[in-house]
Structures are given as structure tokens and as C-alpha cells.
Amino acid sequence: MITIQSPREIEGMRKAGAVLAGMHIALRDIIKPGISSWDIEKFALRYFEENNAKPEEKGFEGYDFATCVSINEEVCHAFPRKGLLLKNGDLVKVDTVISVDGYMSDSCWAFAVGDVSDEVKKLMDVTKKSLYLGIDQAVVGNRIGDIGYAIQHYVEDEMGYGDVREYVGHGIQPTMHEDPMVPAYGEAGKGVRLREGMTITIEPMVNIGDWRCAPVADDGWTVRTADGSLSCQYEHTLVITKDGPKILTSQDPEFDKKYL
């Protein structure tokens, strides 16, 4: 069932989104060569505790951590690991969900570790642009397929990258995962019609190579690209309003001015 949020619920989600965005902003000074992905987990846990936020991924379907920290060819859902040190040139994606006073927020952000290659920079730019192309389609009266088509057409037809199909965005609030599913691919004019008050996540995962993912790793969670190519992800939580899509997890008020 698709839920429509009240102004009070949207404001609660906005407050949770600000906490989550603040954590990602703070990670810019934390993520550097030589730290472990476990250091990211420890920092996130401390940040959430200081801001009265509950890490909703921790304990979800048996997952033991507050964050997913996926590196290079890891598409999503990788564990934070104590012995895995980040290297100069790595591409790291940090994905997490929190609640504050029962209101949810979900966001993934990509980080360059030290000096990265032009290939990594381009992948990050393409993925972030695809996210915003999808957000631009999240308007009252459009359909879910309009979001996915805008992302897929840019990623695959214009840029020649792989647009992951196996993992998708979703509705959010009152739980982490609600209807509707929000694929980053699709056919324009198809799918659920978007209504004022819907809260969703848009989260394109873009591979330099083929769009396909390998089978889930033996740990039961980690997903990698099938061909070993680099993968990137960005994700925002947003609300659909009569005045257009409004981002609830914005990290940059100037860049996101039209969405706030």
C-alpha cells in the first residue's frame, strides 16, 4: 500500500534527513587513504547517537551494521570491515537509513579516496547527474516509469554505462521500505502515478561496464558487478509536492536550491 504523508510527517522526515545529510558531510573529512571501512561505521554510530538518531539498517533482516560501505566494484550492501583499509584512488559508497522520533531518512553518497582517476571522476559525475535527472521527473501526475526512463536513457543511451536493474529505490515512511518500488530504469508513461505527499527514494547504481550484478557473495549481502567493473551510487529521499520534488536529505542548499 502506498502511504501519503501529512505535513507533520514530512517535517519529521526533513529533520531526520538533515541529520543523515550532516553525517555524510562530516564523512568528507573522515574518508581518506589508510582508514578502514570499519572506521566509517564507528563514526556513523557515534554521529547518530549524538543526534538522537536510530540506525535502522542495524538488525534489519539480520544485518549487523549501521552502514553499508561498498568499495570500487562492490555495487551495494557490503559490510564495513575492520581489516580493509581504503587506498588512494578508491571509490567508496556509504549507504544508511536512520529514524529520528520515528521518522525515516535514507541516503547513499559516493566519496573519492585521495586522488582518483579521471575514470572514477566521470563515473561519479554521471551517476550524480542521473540521480537529479530522475528527481526532475518526480512531479505530481508523472509516473514511476518517467523517473526510471530519464535515468536509463542518460546512463545507457547517452553515456554507454550500465544501469543496474536488480536493486531499486522505494517508498519510505512509516517503514524503511514501502511501496512503490522506484527502479532507475523503465518506460516513460508507465507505472504508478505520482501523487502529492508521496515520499520515495531515488538511487541509481551505475556501472562502468555491464549493468548486471554477480550473485550475492557468500556473506549473504555483498553485491558486486558481474564483470568486475567500477560501480557508483547516489541516493536521496524526497517528497512529491504540488511545487515539485523536494529533497529531504540535501547536503548542499545552494546546489539543491530549486528542490528545497
Annotated binding site: 77, 95, 106, 170, 177, 203, 235
User: Residue positions in the annotated binding site for substrate?
Assistant: 77, 177
Cα–Cα distance, 162 to 167 (Å, whole number): 13
Cα–Cα distance, 162 to 127 (Å, whole number): 11
Q: How many CA atoms lie within 13 A of 211 on its CB side?
A: 18
Residues in the chain: 260
- What Cα–Cα distance (Å) separates residue 25 from each residue in 22, 113, 221? 5, 15, 26
Give the residues across from 238 on adjacent strands: 200, 247
User: Residue positions in the annotated binding site for a divalent metal cation?
Assistant: 95, 106, 170, 203, 235
